[in-house]
Amino acid sequence: FFQNGMLDPWLQSKGLAGANQVLAYFAVSELREPPVDGITDANPEGLTATFGNWAPAIAARLQNGGLTCKVLEKDAFQKQMLEKLIWISAFMLVGASHPQATVGVVEKEHRAEVSTLIAQLASAAAAERGLSFDDGMEERLCAYSRAVAHFLTAVNEVQVEERLVLLSH
């Protein structure tokens, strides 16, 4: 399963908790455009990650396509998955309060606001999951924002299985 945030609750509800997963830190801005890889000044090795039985094959396929991808164990993958969820949540929510803001504008002009939200979300996620994040999360997330600075922020509401789910794109 390729994901941009966190699919664990859904995968668990479908009996797929052990499924192979890829945390995508690449994006295609337009049809037929080459992908923008998640290489940042804080993570020059790239951020895309995979885990599961087929993780090495998935990583090799992405690398053959010119993208970076590292193979992680489940615990390390879950930490990175939570970081990506925190990035999406913090940057899209702060951006939503500043119409037409790009991810880069949020990082540059609303850094204090997004930093506070990152810290709050990280604290809640760590307490909920009983884990601790590696130092430097804020800088890693801001570095990723600089790498995809031109992407617009947005929050959409979608009804899924009788629950309200917030999606960002």
SS (H, E, C) 63-96: HHCCCCCEECCHHHHHHHHHHHHHHHHHHHHHHH
Structural domain boundaries enclosing 145 = 2-167
DSSP state of 9: H
pLDDT of residue 168: 47
Contact 41, 146 (CB under 8 A): yes
pLDDT of residue 18: 87
With a cut of 50, list the residues of the chain below it in pLDDT: 160-165, 168-169
DSSP state of 169: -
pLDDT of residue 157: 59
Per the structure, the count of domains in the chain is 1
pLDDT of residue 162: 46
Could you tell me which residues come within 8 angstroms of residue 74 by beta carbon, excluding any fewer than 6 positions away? 51
**Cα–Cα nearest to 2, from 59, 45, 75, 44:** 59
Contact 92, 118 (CB under 8 A): no
Burial of 159 (0-12, 13-18, 19+ CB in 10 A): exposed
Which residue's entry shows tokens 């941009």?
4
